[in-house]
Chains A and B, each alone.
Chain A
């Protein structure tokens, strides 16, 4: 549950941040600019003191929230409500959303606030203006989830799901889908709890049947709820994941594959690395042919060249029969090590050292040079400085050895990193270092004559 709720909360706070940015127009706050904009809006007419009161009030609420002064914020909020009676219909209509955002924040943290206050507030705000009902319902449900009130949250979502108001605008449709999907997620949660129970039961047990029956029931409802959202372009990772898990559990491999393929390949969806990861993992479970796995990872490689699956990708490419796959394998390794986060990844270095030797033995010097040319200006200081040599040796001798080998091959034996490591007199590693020296001598791409 903890992961799950965290995810929900995160998505909520992210929403909030985004909204508050919209509030102030940009991320930055310029009081003078704001004033200027305001006068432009009012057509140069002098702003009424009422408007000054409300805008000063809003500023003070935001300030109080920033400083976590909840009672003060509530005090200003008390006065800010009058904006709902603003004669400027534009401001009046924008008000409920602002009030909801600020008010729910205050009630979330205020020491004297409780579940009941929050619920009353949410219910009141939901019914203020048509456009806010769904959004507030959803956020209300997330609040309840955060407090572990799963059933209340579910009830709330169901109520919101049933809500209709004439022609729903397209934005509202997404919201309805989202509400349904959250409902589905809640059902998934129950389902996976049931699954855990089931795994503890004996198959011959009488209870087993009923339990599996309710499970099936849940999964059916969930798939209905999740299905609609997943069709809409967007990033729906948790929903997709749970949906696929259920489909797989009931043996609907084709369904699962379709969902994942669509999620990864539909061009209307925003580029999402996780979509490819899910698909890859699914195909791997399915024991799909190597060719297919490679094609999935190829796309992931284009989006996130530093992804941890890249080493696995390299292994797949190495095993492939195609020549251009072998070349790509080298590229992938270099690509991984371009990223600062991967500099200490010993596996990557080991692979590179090994693969470099292999490539050079296979007479593909050109491939190596091609990769090296774009990196030779910055890799030496990025990876092979004497500082790194010292600190790598101190922290991880094995890593230092792998790197020294690579450095030697790419930069020749005159390179600082290589020299430093070779100079270290280490009893256990003496043999290894000798081996490194030997292979450097043999494979180095730097002309030994120079």
Chain B
């Protein structure tokens, strides 16, 4: 149903046999000839600089003439790529992203049904397709060639053959339907002449100026919101922070996604503003955009998040406990907190865009916040109790080497601190070294083109020169995608695994139930912000204990979110947990006494 969004216009010439080298991009040996006599790879559409004449003749006297010839042709070709619309560009990006998700192990229905439908709905709602008189074509309808387009407007299956892998496999060229089709054969010349001044796409200029009330305009960050919506709908085992981390690690195309557009889809001018991205996606931003899109698409209530779903806090807590090397036994406590706070309820967890206050749970952030609350219940985290409990645990472990070791907060801190610092350093270094610019330079107008390409060439040259001077130690290769960032193996002294450690000594039997030995608790937030700023509370790091800071920093880094964001979530969990006490403690001193029973 999905289809490589764009196709070549010209019918494919018979495969060329003379040229037998492997393609530099996909290593296939399957060459076609473009209308200018250049070889292009039929499987990835990489066009080479080799042209047929050069190979065949190879005679020196001719080369000069050919070069001139080629130069002229080339110029014309560059000015005129395919005619394409901005929404096709986004469709292409979405296509790449969903393909990447598929290779990450997400079920195929996500692409064929969910995202496909969302996107269709979006095009319809934003009046770009599947409706009478779509926006992007209004202005040129007069020039439209009826014959080839009679069914464009009314054709509901715009994206029907979206899933055809690529035209190389489909073999035949130019199927009459789909976005791939060239929409205006007659108007083309005049169109591209005017359009080429400011954008490569047909409607780039218009698109960047368009401001319609109530319409959510597509942007590159919103493609991620679309991906996440589909993941959420499918209840896949990918959280938003995972998704963004995969983007960051390069497993999902995002920055410079446009460079994988087909060669003939020229981007310049206004397209630059639309498709070039110079910032990383942030959790808060994508989260907001996701809700916004869900509302715009008028989506119904999402499938229920039940206890057996990955996104349920019980399961996520387990995952994050493993991730940060905390004892498995803590899972009982997290489950209890989840139960008491009610954050595990289906209605609470399930996303319903049509509800009055459309709001969805930040599943990952919330799960982590539950863990923070449990840590506070167990160790108080006041820079005092956790250390004295550690002393006891250490002594016990020394004297009872045969027993299951008791959890020693200090040891855990030491191991985690070291690991997280290393990870953070690695991450910062990767960020400082990140190469943002695409291999395909973007330029504002055809006048800038030569300059942009020259600049690109210069940078590549310099990089080549300096790459020989870089430390020969192999840089860490691309990480394999994983929902875990740490790996805690038994037997490594520096990276002790605490999963099997017991909470004995921190919990005590009281009658039939276990209670925490520690009976104190302090609230992360005394006062919630009531103004309209939408902030729940503020987080002034220096007001909190060092242990709390460490824990918050640790988790915030894992999820790549701001510390204040996590702190807010912790406060919200506490608000639910101490609902009854909260109103009183607000008036009392900063530390509330509270005995908790389990």
A residues with a Cβ closer than 8 A to B are 48-53, 56-57, 60, 70-72, 74-79, 81-82, 84-85, 87, 99, 103, 106-107, 110, 112-113, 117, 120-121, 124, 128
Q: How far is the CA of A103 from the CA of B459 in the complex (A)?
A: 13
Q: How far is the CA of A99 from the CA of B280 in the complex (A)?
A: 25
Known contacts A81-B463, A85-B441, A124-B458: A56-B431 contact under CB 8 Å: yes
Chain A residues, Cβ within 8 Å of B432 = 53, 56-57, 60, 76, 79
CB pair A81–B469 under 8 Å, yes or no, is: no
Q: How far is the CA of A340 from the CA of B173 in the complex (A)?
A: 92
Chain A residues, Cβ within 8 Å of B490 = none
- Name which residue of chain A comes closest to B475, CB basis: A75
The distance from the CB of B296 to the nearest CB of chain A, in whole angstroms, is: 24
Q: How far is the CA of A87 from the CA of B278 in the complex (A)?
A: 10
User: Within 8 Å of chain A (Cβ to Cβ): is B436?
Assistant: yes
CB pair A82–B435 under 8 Å, yes or no, is: yes
User: Within 8 Å of chain A (Cβ to Cβ): is B532?
Assistant: no
Question: How many residues does chain B have at the interface if contact means C-beta atoms less than 8 Å apart?
Answer: 29
Chain B residues, Cβ within 8 Å of A57 = 432-433
CB pair B428–A121 under 8 Å, yes or no, is: no
CB pair A49–B280 under 8 Å, yes or no, is: yes
CB pair A82–B469 under 8 Å, yes or no, is: no
The distance from the CB of B175 to the nearest CB of chain A, in whole angstroms, is: 38
User: Within 8 Å of chain A (Cβ to Cβ): is B137?
Assistant: no
CB pair A74–B278 under 8 Å, yes or no, is: no
User: Within 8 Å of chain A (Cβ to Cβ): is B461?
Assistant: yes
Given contacts A50-B278, A57-B432, 4 further A-B contacts (CB under 8 A): A70-B469, A71-B469, A87-B278, A106-B466
Interface residues in B358-403 by Cβ distance below 8 A to A read none
Chain A residues, Cβ within 8 Å of B472 = 71
Chain B 426-443: CB-based contact to A (< 8 A → 1; otherwise 0): 001101111111000100
CB pair B461–A71 under 8 Å, yes or no, is: no
CB pair B471–A121 under 8 Å, yes or no, is: no
CB pair B465–A128 under 8 Å, yes or no, is: no
The DSSP consensus for interface residues of chain B is helix
Chain A residues, Cβ within 8 Å of B470 = 71, 74-75, 78
The distance from the CB of A4 to the nearest CB of chain B, in whole angstroms, is: 31
Q: How far is the CA of A335 from the CA of B530 in the complex (A)?
A: 75
Chain B residues, Cβ within 8 Å of A71 = 469-472
Chain A residues, Cβ within 8 Å of B434 = 53, 79
CB pair B456–A85 under 8 Å, yes or no, is: yes
- Name which residue of chain B comes closest to A120, CB basis: B465
The distance from the CB of B546 to the nearest CB of chain A, in whole angstroms, is: 22
The distance from the CB of A376 to the nearest CB of chain B, in whole angstroms, is: 57
The distance from the CB of A128 to the nearest CB of chain B, in whole angstroms, is: 7
CB pair A76–B433 under 8 Å, yes or no, is: yes
CB pair A110–B469 under 8 Å, yes or no, is: yes
CB pair B468–A112 under 8 Å, yes or no, is: yes
The distance from the CB of B21 to the nearest CB of chain A, in whole angstroms, is: 29
Known contacts A50-B278, A82-B437: A77-B466 contact under CB 8 Å: yes
- Name which residue of chain B comes closest to A82, CB basis: B437
Chain B 275-294: CB-based contact to A (< 8 A → 1; otherwise 0): 00011100000000000000
CB pair A50–B435 under 8 Å, yes or no, is: no
Chain B residues, Cβ within 8 Å of A81 = 459, 462-463, 466
Q: How far is the CA of A81 from the CA of B460 in the complex (A)?
A: 9
CB pair A78–B279 under 8 Å, yes or no, is: no
CB pair B459–A82 under 8 Å, yes or no, is: yes
User: Within 8 Å of chain A (Cβ to Cβ): is B190?
Assistant: no
Q: How far is the CA of A81 from the CA of B280 in the complex (A)?
A: 20
Known contacts A78-B433, A124-B461: A85-B455 contact under CB 8 Å: yes
Q: How far is the CA of A53 from the CA of B278 in the complex (A)?
A: 10
Q: How far is the CA of A330 from the CA of B470 in the complex (A)?
A: 65
User: Within 8 Å of chain A (Cβ to Cβ): is B467?
Assistant: yes
Q: How far is the CA of A103 from the CA of B458 in the complex (A)?
A: 14
Chain A residues, Cβ within 8 Å of B468 = 112
19 intermolecular pairs with C-beta atoms under 8 Å apart:
A49-B278, A53-B434, A56-B428, A56-B431, A57-B432, A71-B472, A74-B469, A76-B432, A77-B466, A79-B434, A81-B462, A82-B459, A84-B458, A85-B437, A85-B456, A87-B278, A112-B468, A121-B465, A124-B458
